[in-house]
Amino acid sequence: MNKYETLYIINAELNEEETKSVVEKFAGVITDNGGEIEKIDEWGKRRLAYPINYQTEGYYVLVLFAAPGAVPAELQRNLKNDERIMRYVVECRA
């Protein structure tokens, strides 16, 4: 299994319960496809470097995980299709 990290920004207008459900959803995508989550680091609300869809703040989440090679593509597909996600990146780490 390879090691990966993903950073995604959730729309800051969501309430706390909705934000937690988004984090749990993407943790579930990783584990349901055979991945193992090492750490979920919620950075919380932060100011964006530039406005995205007229929003100036976002809720940042960093996830470190180990997974087979097909999991990052599935995770990216789910992140792309969720309207609550403002931006995301999935990278392989050494």
| Range 50-62 average pLDDT | 96
Provide the CATH number for the domain around residue 53.
3.30.70.60
Report how far residue 66's alpha carbon sits from residue 94's, in angstroms, rounded to the nearest whole number.
11
- Whether the CB-CB separation of 55 and 11 falls below 8 Å is answered with yes
Q: Supply the pLDDT for residue 94.
A: 72
- Mean pLDDT, all residues of the chain: 96
Band of pLDDT at residue 49, cut at 50, 70 and 90? very high
Domain count, the chain: 1
Token pair 């992140």 is found at 79
**pLDDT confidence of residue 63:** 98
pLDDT above 80: residue 69 = yes
- Count CA atoms closer than 13 A to 55's CA, side-chain side: 18
Mean pLDDT of the 74-90 span: 97
pLDDT at position 75: 96
Q: Which helix (H) or strand (E) holds 24?
A: helix 16-32
Q: With 80 as the cut, is the pLDDT of residue 54 above it?
A: yes
Rounded CA-CA distance 9/45 in Å is 9
Q: What residues make up the domain containing 26?
A: 2-92
